[in-house]
Structure 1
Amino acid sequence: MAHIEYFFATTSPFTYLAGTRMEEVAERHGATLKYRPVDIMAVFPRTGGLPPGERHPARLDYRLQELRRLSKKHGLPIDLDPPYRAVNPAPSSYAFIAAEKAGGGDLGKLVQAFGGAVWRDKRDIAEDAVIADCLQEAGFDPGLAGMAMLQGAEQYARNLEDAVSAGVFGAPFYIVDGTEKFWGQDRIDDLDLFLAGKL
C-alpha cells in the first residue's frame, strides 16, 4: 500500500485549485495520506524560490492567467486579488493540526474550506471565527479554533524542517513512499498514473 505525504499551504491558490482530486486518487489506489501544512513563504528562501511579490512581472502575469484558467477548468471560483491572500497561515495550520488529532471530520474538505475562504469568499483565515466556520464546514468541532496552539505550533515547525529535508519547494507537493515527488496540482494525473504502475 502506497503512502502519500501531502505538503500544502492553507493560503496557496494552487492548493485550493487542487480541489479534492488528490484524495480521490489516493482512495482509488488504497493509498494512505499524511497531511503536512507548511509555511510556504518560509520554504521559498530555503529552496531557491521567491515569494510572489518578488517575482518578475512576466511570471506574475502568467501566474494570474494560469489561476484563471485552472479556476474554470476545475469549476472552483477564484478571486484573483483577494484582500487576505497574504494573511498569516499559522493559525489555520495550527487548527488543521488540532483537527487531524481530534478526528471526526474530512481533512480534504478542511484544506478546501481554508483555501475557499481566502480565494473565493474573501475571508481572513487568521481569525478564530473564520477558522471555526471552516472546521464546521469540514465536519470538525468548531471549538478547536484557538485550541492546542502550542502543540500545533511545534508540529508546524517540524513540518517546515521535514519539507525542506524532503526536497519540497512549492505547494501543493506530494511525495509517495518518501521518494517519488510530484509538485503542483497539475501533477495529480501523473500521481494517479504512478500509483497505477504506469509511470
Structure 2
Amino acid sequence: MAHIDYFFSTLSPYAYLAGTRMEEVAARHGATITYKPVDITTLFGRTGGTPPKDRHPSRQELRAQELTRQSKKLGMPFNLKPAFWPTNAAPSSYAIIAAQNAGGGDLGALAHGFLRAVWAEDKDIAQDDVVRATLESAGFDPALADSGLLSGAETYAANLEEAASRGVFGAPFYITDDDQRFWGQDRIADLDLYLAGKL
C-alpha cells in the first residue's frame, strides 16, 4: 500500500488552495497519509527560503497575483490579506497531531478547516474557541485542544527536523514511501499520475 507523508503549515495559502485534492488522490490509490504540520517560517530559514514579508517586492507582487488567479481557477473563496495572518500556528498544529493520534474523525477536513478559517473566514486559528470548533466540525472531540500539548509540541518540533532532513522546503509538500517528492498544490495531479504508475 502506498503512503504519503504530508508536510504543511496551517498558515500556508498554497496548502489552503490544495483543498482536499490530495486526500482524494490518496483514496483513489488506497494510499495512507501521515499529516506532519511544521513551523514553516523556521523551515524557510533552515532550507534557504525567505518568509513572504522579507521577499523582494517583485516576488511579493507576483505571489499576490498568482494566489488570486489560482483561487479563481479553483473556485475557492480567498482573502489575500486575511485579518489573522500571520498568527501562532502551534495551537492548530498541536490539535492536528492530537487528532491524528486519537483517530475517529476526518483529518483532511480538519487540516483544511484550519486553512479555510485563515484564508476564507477571517478567523484566528490561535484562539481556543476556533480550534475547538474546527476539531468538532471535522468529527473530533473538541477536548483534544487541551490534551497532549507536550507531546504535540514534541511532535511539531520533530516534524520540523524531519522535514529539513528529507528535503522539504515549502508547503504543501508530499513525499511518497519511495521518496518521490512533490512540492505545491499544483503538483497534486503529478502525485496522482505517479501513484498510478504513469510517471
For the aligned pair, the TM-score class normalised by the smaller chain equals over 0.9
1:52 maps to what in 2? 52
Q: Which residue of 2 aligns with 1:153?
A: 153
| Contact 1:98–1:152 (8 Å) recurs in 2 | yes
Q: Name the structure 2 match of 1:42.
A: 42
The reply on whether 1:76 has 2:79 as its aligned counterpart is no
Residue in 1 that maps onto 2:162: 162
* d(CA) in 2 for partners of 1:162, 1:22: 21
Alignment-derived partner of residue 19 in structure 1 = 19
Classify the secondary structure of the residue corresponding to 2:48: coil
Cα RMSD after superposing both structures: 0.8
Which 5+ residue runs of structure 2 have no aligned equivalent? none
- Residues 1:113 and 2:106 are matched in the alignment: no
Query: What's the counterpart of residue 173 of structure 1?
Result: 173
CA distance in 2 between partners of 1:147 and 1:76 (Å): 33
Q: Between the two proteins, what is the percent identity of the paired residues?
A: 63
- Normalised by the size of structure 2, how large is the TM-score? 0.98
Q: CA deviation at 1:141?
A: 0.8
User: Within 5 A, what are the aligned runs for 1:1-12?
Assistant: 1-12=1-12
Count of residue correspondences: 199
Q: Specify the code of the residue in structure 2 equivalent to 1:128.
A: D
Residue ranges of structure 1 left out of the alignment (5+ in a row): none
Question: SS of the residue aligned with 2:60?
Answer: helix
1:61-120 Cα deviation digits (max 9, x unpaired)? 111111111111222201100121110101110111111111111000011100011111
**Contact 1:91-1:146 within 8 A present in 2 as well:** no
Say if 1:178 and 1:42 are closer, same or farther in 2 by CA, change over 3 A.
farther
Q: Does 1:30 align with 2:22?
A: no
Say whether the 8 Å CA contact 1:4–1:176 is kept in structure 2. Answer: yes
Deviant stretches of 4+, over 4 Å: none
Q: Cα offset for 1:178?
A: 4.5
Which residue is 1:183 aligned to? 183
For 1:130 and 1:20, locate their aligned partners in 2 and report how far apart those are by CA, in whole Å.
20
Give the aligned residue type for 1:138. Answer: A
2:196 aligns with 196
- What SS is found at the alignment partner of 1:139? coil
TM-score by length of 1: 0.98
Give the Å deviation of 1:136. Answer: 1.1
1:30-74 deviation digits (Å, cap 9, x = unpaired): 111111000100100110000000001111111111111111122
In the alignment, the residues of structure 1 paired with residue 136 and residue 57 of structure 2 have an alpha-carbon distance, to the nearest angstrom, of 39
Alpha-carbon distance in structure 1 between the residues aligned to 2:114 and 2:149: 17
Letter of the 2:96 partner, please give it.
F
